[in-house]
């Protein structure tokens, strides 16, 4: 009995020693699996971070392009020729009659001259008021026969109108708070095609007596309509 007991005890001690020396495979495997999971999460996090950085970089480029476009087509300063004093109809334009003024691109009339040399020596087809931009239809040779005696030019910004051609006679109607107001008739001097993100300016030859009323209604009214004759 004594011998058997010792052997059993030795066996138990041997088993305990073996269990202490042999690592738990499940524990080791669990740690390895956990490390892989952590590594996978890190990789996914890095991918998300890289994607966000790329998106932020792209958005910054688009914002810069928008600012450049806005500056180039709206706020970029450009030169225009303006009347330094009133110029009478038929008078020869001299160097002293005009000056160069810097305005933003959005405020430049689409038919304004950029250099005095383009107008000096030519004759004014109508009265050009001091401080106004000198535009092509006001100078001889550009609108011959379209601006008659007793008429002046009136630019209208973004009127509601069908397709127009130079020489068309139109009826000008302004929509005021009180309702529609017929302002009179005018002759189309120029009607450029509409362009995206740009104002369309239609130039009309109107009677001098009607010009102030038409200009006020065009500015104060909700909209201006041009109706052509059929």
pLDDT in tens, 88-107: 877 889 999 999 999 988 88
Residues 6+ apart with CB under 8 A from 22: none
The verdict on pTM exceeding 0.75 is: no
pLDDT of residue 25: 47
DSSP summary character for residue 73 = I
Lowest mean pLDDT among 10-19, 53-62, 180-189: 10-19
Looking at residues 63-82, what average pLDDT do you find?
70
The dotted CATH code for 76-142 is 3.90.1210.10
143: its two tokens:
């609108």
Average pLDDT over residues 60-64: 72
**Average pLDDT of the residues in 153-172:** 88
Residue with more model confidence, 32 or 79:
79
Domain parsing of the chain, residue ranges: 24-74, 76-142, 146-230
What is the phi/psi pair of residue 48, to 5°? -65, -40
Q: Say if residue 228 is exposed, middle or buried (CB neighbours under 10 Å; 0-12, 13-18, 19+).
A: middle
Mean pLDDT, residues 130-144 taken together? 78
Averaged pLDDT score across all residues of the chain: 77
Q: Give 125: exposed, middle or buried? Use CB within 10 Å, 0-12, 13-18, 19+.
A: buried
Greater confidence, 30 or 148? 148
Bridge partner residues of 157 (DSSP): 201
Q: What's the average model confidence in pLDDT over 29-54?
A: 62
Confidence of residue 45 (pLDDT cuts 50, 70, 90): low
Cβ neighbors of 90 (< 8 A, separation 6 or more) are: 123, 124, 125
């Amino acid at each position: 009995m004594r011998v058997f007991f010792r052997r059993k005890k030795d066996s138990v001690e041997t088993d305990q020693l073996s269990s202490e020396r042999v690592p738990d495979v499940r524990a080791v495997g669990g740690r390895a699996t956990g490390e892989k999971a952590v590594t996978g999460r890190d990789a996914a996090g890095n991918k998300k971070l890289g994607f966000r950085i790329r998106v932020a970089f792209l958005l910054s480029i688009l914002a810069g392009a928008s600012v450049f476009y806005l500056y180039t087509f709206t706020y970029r300063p450009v030169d225009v020729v303006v009347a330094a004093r009133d110029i009478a109809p038929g008078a020869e334009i001299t160097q002293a009659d005009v000056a160069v003024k810097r305005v933003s691109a959005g405020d430049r009339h689409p038919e304004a001259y950029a250099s005095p040399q383009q107008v000096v020596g030519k004759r004014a087809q109508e009265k050009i008021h001091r401080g106004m931009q000198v535009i092509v239809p006001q100078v001889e040779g550009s609108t011959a026969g379209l601006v008659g005696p007793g008429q002046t030019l009136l630019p209208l910004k973004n009127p509601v109108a069908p397709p127009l051609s130079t020489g068309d006679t139109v009826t000008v109607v302004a929509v005021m708070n009180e309702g529609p107001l017929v302002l009179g008739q005018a002759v189309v001097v120029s009607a450029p095609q509409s362009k995206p993100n740009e104002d369309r300016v239609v130039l009309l030859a109107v009677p001098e007596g009607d010009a102030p009323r038409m200009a006020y209604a065009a500015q104060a009214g909700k909209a201006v309509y041009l109706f052509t004759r059929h």
